[in-house]
Structure 1
């Protein structure tokens, strides 16, 4: 099965996530957010791992899973309104727009229900918002596919997500890929995949299938 623990992708995402330009607030290193997708819960912790706040969340649904990895808060906004509730904490996810926000559907909290973002009750995101500085680290821990019921998907040109990013890092380490590890299956990655498959004696599909993931050591 696909290796679920975040430890398998932290090193792959750290350099990318901390490369985005952002002017951090004072105290950005004093606290961090930890999101556990198995528990559907978000924690605000200090650097000694003491839990300051803990709330239930609604992460991405099966067809629109949430990102997994290490990110930063790069945007804060009040009063988004509508489905995004009263607060927004935007994350520097390279393959799309994701954030932590309120909701007009509080009944969805605790379930995999969003389009990839992390929904919270408005009164809880309002409280959390005041204690999360711009530039704060956000660790999202969970199944690499972002949903507990997803174990594998064929990756094709245009695919996006943490699994794409992990494949990019493995291909880079093997000397096949020189592009950005941004989690987007672009033309440069497709060329690298074809070269990898040719030189390793695999079926040349230009896509990433189960056998390719296994060959790269991503699944067992």
Structure 2
């Protein structure tokens, strides 16, 4: 057991030795004598624990974040699955026709390397006929307009008519300087991105290098393209 203190008191029976700097340890017979020390100790513990509680984030913040994420997901699903009114069957889709102030898509670009077919359904490379004025007659026979082109086309410039499907259009004059071809796949019309218009022929002027120098959305009088034909022959 431990050494007695200055007054001859040793540690209580059954307790281990206590540090000498603690001094004399007195255990009262009545525990209520320690009430004041206990209250002070509790106040001290509460004071030390208060800052820790203040550092905790409020519990409602994660709930708000979760609610915002849930509402965003629901709004996105509603936008995707919201029923749309069906298109009326008696309301056809209208493709805008380019105005005269807007150059067609092929102007200044190479002519697509397309193989068309003649009256015998023999493949004919379109680029092998250049320079040429190519006239699409899938929406209009336009025999008079084609004959006018053939009449003013200079030597060395081909005049080519192109129909859709496999039916080749008859030339305006037997033996005339017009090559009649058909475009079964519709590749030339698709490359132009010009929808057919009734009683209207579209013409392309293509130089010997294969570049589309001009597109005429509606073939008209010869004076509109005579100078272009002359430049193609140069």
Q: Report the TM range for the smaller structure's normalisation.
A: under 0.3
More helix by share: 2
More strand by percentage:
1
* Highest RCO, 1 vs 2 (Cα 8 Å, sep ≥ 6): 1
Relative to the length of structure 2, the TM-score reads 0.19
